[in-house]
Amino acid sequence: MRRFLQALTLVLFAALLWRFFPVAIRFVEAAALNLRVFWWLVLLVALITWVIWVWSKRNPG
């Protein structure tokens, strides 16, 4: 049952992304087809991760 709920959550999240952020979905699809776009996606995720990490260090809970 837990795996089903996890899969359902993932599908619902993807549907919400597709509905509200079609540009982001097109970018991810392009990343899957083009290596150059894929590296931009990797760099974007790394930048977001770094910003969250720095922000959490400066503002401890």
CA dihedral 54, 57, 58, 61 (to 10 degrees): 130
Contact between 18 and 25 (Cβ < 8 Å): yes
Please tell me the predicted confidence (pLDDT) of residue 21. Answer: 81
Q: What would you measure as the largest C-alpha separation in the chain, in angstroms?
A: 40
Distance CA 2, CA 12 (A): 15
pLDDT tier at 47 (50, 70, 90 boundaries)?
very high
The pTM of this model reads 0.50
Please state the domain count of the chain: 1
Reported as a single tens digit per residue, the pLDDT across 3-45 is: 888 888 888 988 887 788 888 778 778 888 888 878 888 898 9
Distance CA 10, CA 14 (A): 6
Range of the domain at 34: 2-58
pLDDT tier at 61 (50, 70, 90 boundaries)?
low
